[in-house]
Chain A
Amino acid sequence: MKKLSIIICVIILGIVMLTNPDIARAKIYIEIDSPMRQFPMAFYDFAEDDIGQDLTNIVKDDLNFTRLFHFVDKDAYIEEKSDDFNPLNWTPFGIEAVLKGDITVTDKVNVVVRLYDVVETRIILYKQYRGGKEQLRTLAHQISDDIYEALTGQKGIFSTRIAFVTNSSETKQLVMMDFDGKRLKKLPFRKEMMMSPHASDDGSKLIVSASDGRQWSIYLVDLLKESSEKIFESKGVNIAGDFLPDGDRFVFTSSKSGSPDIFLFDISSKRTRRITSNYWINISPTISPDSNNVAFVSDKSGNPHIYIMDIDGYSTRRVTFEGTYNTQPAWSPVGDLIAYSGMIDGKNQIFTARTDGSEYRQLTDEGNNEDPSFSPDGRFIVFTSDREGNKTIYVMTTGGENQKRISPDGYRAFGPEWLSN
């Protein structure tokens, strides 16, 4: 609902292309997969007043989150913001892009953004934004997304959200927040016990397993209507797995006929299809981006390890060989990388490995770190850590850099799931 109103309210008045028709042919300024250095740019404050500073800080924080940008000190700026853009004012300092934005506030917030390419002396982004004052963060994140896309050619993650579970009292409750931990919002879904939610690719709904103490059922949570319904129940444990890209099917775990096995559920037809069938524990399925394969946890070697099979349950192969307790696989949305938690010296840590098991890497080493979930662009991992005491939500790059808490200090939380919007 909120998302819808935002789309309506943030009216983009137009993309105006100036001077150079080549603007349509995107140039990649920053190769995000192999950045040689931080991209040097000038960034004028939108305005000196409070709202102008707020907007400036949000957009800068967003871009800094990626660690791809370097904002050159304002003392080096020769040009006034109101002056015409002149590349000769910037080339001596090695600055490659200049951002000039203005904000005016009437009954709405109006922002104009101009982003210049110093080297090719042209404007690469010229866009106006308008929205309600209470939507400043939404508007700021959209500006960040546009700047990021203009410079990298990739979609930004600044308008994405993270769903997780809080256990502030005797019950567990679903919560949504922005990717940067701001704008926490509790959803009207609360149960005595709950596992991590899993989102559809379009970010419109979640599946989550929860229990009132008698039964573990799978619930479907509609994020637009903020409503929920019990969608699967049987005896034994029933645990939400992962949506297929079509958003109408998901994989899940059920022990309805003995030990936990993996099944496929079709929401429209309510039909269930069995994928695994054996005596072992088979649990925590996650779908490959092409939806042809499933990574999951099985204890068939005697301890829990990560395996991959095809969506029909055949061609099973083992991915992890290190350690004796590897669980919680999450398949990267953009490649052949799996994040998982592995126990080492009695503590759970986040690891990544290629789907063929190669290049396995330990990313965390402080406290217990669990529940990895990739950002939609595959460049970040959100996870749970108890390194400061209570379990709460952290993010880091997929390489393990820049680990930081994003949920409020002391806020008990676990099971994060990064949504696409």
Chain B
Amino acid sequence: MKKVFLLLLVFAFLFSCAQKQVTSTQEEMQPSEEVTLPDEGAQEAAVESVNLGDVLVDIHFDFDRYEIKEGDKATLKAIADVMIQDAAVSVRIEGHCDERGTNEYNLGLGDNRANAAKSYLMTLGVPSSRILTISYGEERPICTQSDEGCWARNRRAHFTPAN
């Protein structure tokens, strides 16, 4: 049962990703419609797991800060809920910074951002063994304009499934 559940979860995640990409890949995703759900309980969990792709959204930080913002705690709670519900889920947290600081310090700052997110998930009951972290400092911006709107988007912790 757990395996089917996991399979669904993976499909749901892949499907949500594939939709954002080119349409030709949607055909390859067809078999996901053929998966039959064994019972009520799994179906309920599957509905929950469909949300994994959606719950792994970026949280953001103020310049030169690594404290979790009040407004991002709901995001972390949602991630923790999914991870607690399914012990097979591991995540990798990437810490990122904007370009304004210097690169070495930003590497340390990004590391602390990733670790701040990790610590928060742990206080919500997620075991540390299922949370990996890496800092990219200012090396991998998602936005390259030199303005506050862009910098704000780059100052983030980004979550990806790690298994």
Chain A residues within CB distance 8 Å of chain B? 193, 195-196, 211, 214-216, 235-237, 239, 253, 255, 258-260, 281, 283-284, 297, 299, 303-304, 324-325, 327-328, 341, 343, 346, 348, 370-371, 414-415
| A contact residues around B100 at 8 Å (CB) | 343, 346, 348
| A contact residues around B64 at 8 Å (CB) | 299, 303-304, 324-325
B108 touches A237 (CB 8 A): yes
A195 touches B112 (CB 8 A): no
Expressed in whole angstroms, the Cα–Cα distance for A300 and B8 within the complex equals: 46
Please name the residue on chain B nearest to A167 by beta carbon. B139
B101 touches A255 (CB 8 A): no
How many inter-chain contacts with C-beta < 8 Å in the A-B complex? Answer: 76
Expressed in whole angstroms, the Cα–Cα distance for A327 and B107 within the complex equals: 12
B108 touches A283 (CB 8 A): yes
User: Total interface residues on B, using CB and 8 Å?
Assistant: 19
The contact of B105 among A216, A284, A414, by CB within 8 Å, is: A284
| B contact residues around A214 at 8 Å (CB) | 134
With A236-B133, A237-B108, A283-B105 already in contact, 17 other A-B pairs whose C-beta atoms are closer than 8 Å: A196-B104, A236-B111, A236-B135, A237-B110, A255-B108, A255-B111, A255-B115, A259-B111, A281-B108, A284-B104, A284-B105, A304-B64, A327-B101, A328-B105, A346-B100, A348-B100, A370-B102
Expressed in whole angstroms, the Cα–Cα distance for A371 and B102 within the complex equals: 8
Which of B104, B115, B135, B136 counts the most chain A CB atoms within 10 A? B104
Expressed in whole angstroms, the Cα–Cα distance for A130 and B112 within the complex equals: 56
B105 touches A281 (CB 8 A): yes
B58-115 with Cβ < 8 A to chain A:
64, 100-105, 107-112, 115
Give a binary string over B114-128; 1 marks a CB under 8 Å from any A CB, 0 the rest. 010000000000000
B114-160 with Cβ < 8 A to chain A:
115, 133-136, 139
Expressed in whole angstroms, the Cα–Cα distance for A398 and B57 within the complex equals: 47
Please name the residue on chain A nearest to B66 by beta carbon. A281
Which of B102, B134, B136 counts the most chain A CB atoms within 10 A? B102
A-B contact pairs, 24 of them (CB 8 A): A195-B104, A195-B107, A196-B103, A214-B134, A216-B107, A239-B107, A255-B108, A255-B111, A258-B115, A259-B108, A259-B111, A260-B111, A260-B112, A281-B105, A281-B109, A283-B104, A283-B108, A297-B105, A304-B64, A324-B64, A327-B105, A328-B104, A343-B100, A348-B100
Expressed in whole angstroms, the Cα–Cα distance for A193 and B112 within the complex equals: 19
| A contact residues around B111 at 8 Å (CB) | 236-237, 255, 259-260
B17-74 with Cβ < 8 A to chain A:
64
B134 touches A259 (CB 8 A): no
Shortest CB distance A104–B (Å): 50
| A contact residues around B133 at 8 Å (CB) | 235-236
A193 touches B108 (CB 8 A): no
Expressed in whole angstroms, the Cα–Cα distance for A281 and B133 within the complex equals: 16
| A contact residues around B101 at 8 Å (CB) | 304, 325, 327, 343
| A contact residues around B102 at 8 Å (CB) | 327-328, 341, 348, 370-371
| B contact residues around A193 at 8 Å (CB) | 136, 139
B105 touches A304 (CB 8 A): yes
| B contact residues around A341 at 8 Å (CB) | 102
Shortest CB distance B155–A (Å): 14
Expressed in whole angstroms, the Cα–Cα distance for A76 and B100 within the complex equals: 53
A259 touches B112 (CB 8 A): yes
Expressed in whole angstroms, the Cα–Cα distance for A343 and B112 within the complex equals: 21
Expressed in whole angstroms, the Cα–Cα distance for A288 and B108 within the complex equals: 23
| B contact residues around A324 at 8 Å (CB) | 64
Expressed in whole angstroms, the Cα–Cα distance for A255 and B133 within the complex equals: 11
Please name the residue on chain B nearest to A368 by beta carbon. B100
Please name the residue on chain A nearest to B99 by beta carbon. A368
Shortest CB distance A44–B (Å): 47
| B contact residues around A239 at 8 Å (CB) | 104, 107-108
Shortest CB distance B72–A (Å): 20
Expressed in whole angstroms, the Cα–Cα distance for A213 and B74 within the complex equals: 29
| A contact residues around B110 at 8 Å (CB) | 237
A237 touches B115 (CB 8 A): no
The contact of B135 among A216, A258, A343, A370, by CB within 8 Å, is: A216
Expressed in whole angstroms, the Cα–Cα distance for A258 and B66 within the complex equals: 14
| B contact residues around A259 at 8 Å (CB) | 108, 111-112, 115
Expressed in whole angstroms, the Cα–Cα distance for A327 and B29 within the complex equals: 50
| A contact residues around B107 at 8 Å (CB) | 195, 216, 237, 239, 283
Expressed in whole angstroms, the Cα–Cα distance for A284 and B105 within the complex equals: 7
Shortest CB distance B81–A (Å): 26
B135 touches A237 (CB 8 A): yes
Please name the residue on chain B nearest to A347 by beta carbon. B100
Expressed in whole angstroms, the Cα–Cα distance for A30 and B140 within the complex equals: 49
Please name the residue on chain B nearest to A214 by beta carbon. B134
| B contact residues around A284 at 8 Å (CB) | 104-105
| A contact residues around B104 at 8 Å (CB) | 195-196, 239, 253, 283-284, 327-328
Which of A211, A237, A299 counts the most chain B CB atoms within 10 A? A237
| B contact residues around A255 at 8 Å (CB) | 108, 111, 115, 135
Please name the residue on chain A nearest to B146 by beta carbon. A346
Expressed in whole angstroms, the Cα–Cα distance for A91 and B35 within the complex equals: 100
Q: Which 6 A-B pairs have the closest CB atoms?
A: A260-B108, A327-B105, A283-B108, A281-B108, A327-B102, A237-B111
